[in-house]
Structure 1
Amino acid sequence: MKHHAKLLILCPFEFIGFQDLDHKIEEYLKTNQEEIVLYLVGSPITYLKVYEKILFHLYDKAQHYPTRFSVIFDTFNKQFTKNYKFDLIINLGTQLQGDFNIQLKVNHQNQQIQFSQESYKVNQFQRGANGGTFDHLHIGHKILLSLSLLAISQHLTIGITGDILLQKKKLKSFLQSYETRCRCVKEFCIMFRPDIELYFSELVEPAGPTKNGQYEVLIATQETQQSLQYINNLRKEQNLNQLEGYIVGMIENQTHQVDAKISSTQFREYIQTKNRLTEYEYLELKSQWLSVCDNLYWFESILVDYYSQPQRHYHTLRHIYDMLKQLKGAKNIQNVKLATFFHDVIYYPKIHDNEEKSCFLFQQFAQECKLDSEVISIFILQTKSHQTDVPFLPENDLSDLMIFLDADMSILESDAYPIYAQDIRMEYSHFPDKEYKIGRIAVLQKFLQSKIFNLRSEEKARKNIQEEIEILQQWVV
C-alpha cells in the first residue's frame, strides 16, 4: 500500500471486531502511515462500558506500530470530515444493517456485547474532570480522554501535572513541557468531541480545582482511583457534593514483562535508547532548538516522535545532535539549524520521497511560526542529491548549503563509521543480503566519485567508504 501522511478510514460502527476490519486496520498500520484516524460512523451506544471495550480492543491493535492512531465516534462530531484534512480517505461502507449488536474479539474469543449493560451512560454528567501527566500522549491517555469526553455533556476540566510534582520522575529531562502536553491533549479532545468546553489546570498539588469546583464526576484510571477518596474528603470539609467515580481500566503493554501497563516512563526510556542520547545530550539538543525557535511543541511532540520511530537506526536524533556540532562558520545559523532539524524528519526506507515529505512538514511549521521557508526548503531538498549547483542562491546561502550538506555527510570521516554502516543495514533489513550489497555498493561508489567539500579528513572518509565496499564484496556472491 502506498504511504500517505494522514489517512482517514470511514467505517460502519457495526463492523467493529469483525475479522475483515481487524485485518484491514493492521494492513494499514504495517505500512507505517504517519497518522491514521478510524472514524466509526453510526454509533448508537448508550453505556460507557461498551465504548470502553471497543476502545481497548482497537487501541490494543495499534500499540505495536509507530503510526499515530486515533479512534473517533460520530455521535457528537458530524462535521469531522469537513474540519480536518487528510491525504487519503478510505470508505469501508457506511450503510448500517441489523440490530447493532456487535462482535468484539477479546482475548481471542468472540464475545457478544449487549447495549443493556448497567453502567454510567453517555452524557450522564454535565461537568467532569480528570487528571494526569499526559507526557508523550499515548493510547492509554487517548482512552481516558475519550471516555471522559463521552461521560459529560458540557464541561471537562483536565488537570495536567506541573513541574513541582514531576521532580522525581524517571528521565525527567525527556519530559515534555507543560505547554506541549496541554496542546497535545487539547488537539485530541477537539478532534474527538468539539462541542465540549475544555479547561486546563496546571496541577501543583494532587486535587487541583476539583477540591472546590462544581463537578459531578471524576474519571480516573485504576492506578489513580485512590485520588477520588482524597478529593472527596477535601470536598466534604467544604460541604460540597461528593464526586462520582468512573474508573477506566488500563491497557497492557505486551512488550514489557516488568511493567505491564503502558506508561509515559516507558516512552521516555524508549526515546532515550532509540536515539542514544544521555539526558544531558538531550537537553543540549533542546537548547539548540530553543536557540532558533521558542515553539517547543514542534520539537518535543513532532520532531522527537518522528525521529524515534522504530524503522530508524541511524536517522535518529543522534544524527541531528552530531550534525549540529559540525555547523561552524555558517552565515545564517538559524537557516542551517532548522534545515538540520527537519531534513530527515520523514524517513521511511521503503519510499522515495522522504525529502519532499520532510520539506512539506517543515513548510507547515514555517507557516505556523511565520517564517520564510524558501531557502531552508531548498536546503532540505538538496539532501536528496547532495549537489550544490543551485545557481540562484546568494553566495552566503550557497556557502551555508555546503556546510549543511557536509555536516550531513560528516559520519563518513568518523571513527563511528562501522556503527553507521550497521545501522544503515538495519534500516534496509527488508532487502535480502545480495540485493542490499549490490545497491549499497552502488551508493558508496557514487560517494567516492563525488566531491566532498569541507570535511576535516576527506582521506579518512574515502578510506572508510572503501573498507565498507570491500566488506560488502565478501558477502553473498
Structure 2
Amino acid sequence: MDKQRWQTLMHNLAGQPSLDTYQQLVCAYSEPHRYYHTATHIDACLVHLDRVKALAQAPAILEMALWFHDAVYQTQSNHNEQDSADWAVHFLQNAGAAVNVSHQVHHLIMATATHTTHDHPDTAWMVDIDLAILGQNTQTFADFETQIRKEYAWVPIAEYCQRRSQIFETFVQRPHLYQTAYFQERYEAMARSNLQTAIRRLQAGALVC
C-alpha cells in the first residue's frame, strides 16, 4: 500500500493527501486476525488494476474502491462490505470529493458482497480484480485457501468444509467466472481447475470430520 500512490489518487479525486486515513487503512489491513485480507491483497488488486486501467471508465474511482473494499473485515460479521463502503463514503465526503464519486465508490465496493455485476460500467472490473486470486497458479491458490481457513479458524472444520465447498460450487456453476474478456482469457480455465480441486478436497474433509 504505497503512500505515494495514495497521495496521487487523493490529489486526483479530492486535491488533498489525507494521510491520516491512509494510516488508518494501513492499520486496518494489518489487523492480527487477517491472513489473506491484508495489504498484500490490496497491492495485488492494484497490480491487476494497472494492467486494465486503460479499459476502465473511471480508473481513479475504481482504484479508490479497491483501497477500501476490505477495510472492515470481521469474519463473524455479515456486513463487512457495507461497513467498508460506508467508511469510504464518509471519508470521501469529508475530503471534499464530488458526490458522484462517493456514490460510485460505494456501489463498486458493494458489488464485492455477491461478486455479480450491476449497472455501473466498472463493476465488472471491480469483481474480476477481486476474484483474480481464483485463477492464479496452483501454489498461490493453495496459499490463499490456507490463509482463508486461518481467518475462519473459529469455525468447526466439518462446517467450514461444507460451507466453503458450497460457495465454490456456486462459482463453477456460472457460465463465466469472470465478467470481462480480459480476465476470462487469462484466468478462467485455471480458476475452474483450482475450484474443482478445492471442492473435492473440501468435500473429502467434511466427510472425514
Smaller-chain TM-score bracket: 0.7 to 0.9
**Where does 1:61-76 land on structure 2 (aligned, <5 Å)?**
none
Secondary structure of the equivalent of 2:205? coil
Distance of 1:292 and 1:333 partners within structure 2? 10
Tell me which of 18, 25, 37 is aligned to 1:315.
Answer: 37
1:417 equivalenced with 2:141 (yes/no): yes
Instruction: State how many pairs are aligned.
Output: 186
1:17-75 per-residue CA deviation (whole Å, 9 max, x = no partner) reads xxxxxxxxxxxxxxxxxxxxxxxxxxxxxxxxxxxxxxxxxxxxxxxxxxxxxxxxxxx
Deviation at 1:370, TM superposition (A): 1.1
Query: Are positions 1:374 and 2:103 aligned together?
Result: yes
Higher strand proportion (structure 1 or 2): 1
Note the 1:47-196 alignment, pairs <5 A. none
Q: How far is the alpha carbon of 1:436 from its aligned partner?
A: 0.3
Verify the 8 A CA contact 2:159 2:206 in the aligned structure 1: no
Q: Which amino acid aligns with 1:443?
A: I
- TM-score w.r.t. the length of structure 2 is 0.85
2:130 to 398, 404, 408: 408
- Tell me the SS of whatever aligns to 1:335: helix
| Alpha-carbon distance in structure 1 between the residues aligned to 2:171 and 2:96 | 37
Shift of residue 306, structure 1, vs aligned partner: 0.8
- Larger RCO: Structure 1 or Structure 2 (Cα < 8 Å, ≥ 6 residues apart)? 2
Q: Normalized per residue, which structure has more helix?
A: 2
Following the alignment from structure 2 to structure 1, what is the Cα–Cα distance between the partners of residues 79 and 47? Answer: 27
TM-score (ref. length: structure 1): 0.38
Give the Å deviation of 1:333: 1.3
Check the 8 A contact 2:136/2:187 in 1, yes or no.
no
Stretches of structure 1 that go unaligned for 5 or more consecutive residues are 1-281
C-alpha separation in 1, matches of 2:109 and 2:40: 18
Structure 2: gaps spanning 5 or more residues: 11-16
Identity %: 30
Larger Rg, first or second structure (1 or 2) = 1
SS in 1 for 2:9: coil
- TM-aligned CA deviation for residue 310 of structure 1: 1.2
- Matched with 2:204 is 474
Q: Does 1:287 align with 2:10?
A: no
- Matched letter for residue 142 of structure 2: P
Name the aligned partner's letter for residue 401 of structure 1: T
Counterpart of 2:85, as a letter, is: C
After superposition, the C-alpha distances for 1:137-176 in whole angstroms (9 at most, x for unaligned) are xxxxxxxxxxxxxxxxxxxxxxxxxxxxxxxxxxxxxxxx
How much does 1:389 deviate?
2.8
C-alpha separation in 2, matches of 1:312 and 1:403: 24
| Whole-angstrom CA distance in 1 between matches of 2:67 and 2:43 | 9
Residue 459 (str. 1) matches residue 189 (str. 2): yes
Shift of 1:287: 2.6
Counterpart residue type for residue 296 of structure 1:
L
**1 CA distance for matches of 2:20 and 2:57?**
27
